Amino acid sequence: MLTPFAKLLEGRHGTAVGAFTCYDLEAAAATLRSASATRTGVILLISKQSYVARDGSMLLAALLAAAQQSDAHACVQLDHCSDLAVIESALEAGVGAVMADGSGLPYEHNVEFVRRAVALARRFEASVEAELGGIAGDEEVAEAASSGALTEPGQAGDFVVETGADCLAVSIGNVHGVYRNPPELDWERLRAIRLRVAAPLSLHGASGIPDELVRRAISGGITKINVNTELRQAYLASTREALPGLLDGSRLGALHAAQVAAVEQVVAAKLRAFDTREAS
């Protein structure tokens, strides 16, 4: 069932909401099945690139319908977008949240951009996630990356107050894509940010971060975690493995079933890792 972004994030103690990028209904079905089985809420992410593609509006409509029909609490969010026109379009189409990414702008321009996105979102009773610092890497292409500009704790509190953002994505050594070196997260920086920011904190680039570090991040105040690369890897690996045996007879349904099962396995493992109470 469709659930407000803020409601999914509120009251989190020892758990984080999983946000999973969905490029098609197979990924959405896998995510929602896992959420239903574990009785936890999830966020279905649609990337800006997917949304502005030729049939992107149909994909968004499909994700919203899938979330609505599921018995799991779910929100659909437009991910990393720096275009206010696209943000407004997605809000009009029904997303429950947008990630207004002005992290590539100077601080003052980032503040103004997010503030304008928040004003748009409030018209639709939707939420806004913002980013301060710079999370390196590409959300669409899994290439090796090193960490980018880190979030300044001293700015973070002011930034959320000035913008009205409902959630803040932090850069503490995390990257999009594949980690060039073993991830080293700045725990003291996270602690300092958490002390200054009342809004929920989001960790992007969770693919490749060991579960023990993810749990430590949750204990340090992270309440939303984005996953993309590992889902794509599982989806494509299952396609490669299953396809040769399915070409005879053009068994497309069986291929989709294999893809869903592979992604579901990854999502289920992530949801278990995002609940530190299960590990205690």
Q: What percent of the chain has pLDDT over 90?
A: 81
Mean pLDDT confidence for 219-244: 95
Residue of 24, 79, 83, 166 marked active site: 79
Q: Per-domain residue ranges for the chain?
A: 5-279
* CA gap 274, 215 in Å, rounded: 7
Q: What was the pLDDT predicted at 135?
A: 64
> Which tens digits make up the pLDDT trace of 53-105?
999 999 999 999 999 999 999 999 999 999 999 999 999 999 999 999 999 89
CA angle 196–198–199, rounded 5-degree value? 125
**Which CATH class, in words, describes the domain spanning 5-279?**
alpha beta
Q: Is pTM beyond 0.95 here?
A: no
CA dihedral 250, 252, 255, 259 (to 10 degrees): 160
261 backbone dihedrals φ, ψ, rounded to 5°: -60, -40
Q: What was the pLDDT predicted at 180?
A: 67
Is 24 among the catalytic positions? Answer: no
* Token pair recorded at residue 205: 């680039």
> Which tens digits make up the pLDDT trace of 167-218?
999 988 887 666 667 778 899 999 999 999 999 999 998 778 889 999 999 9
* CA gap 83, 116 in Å, rounded: 11
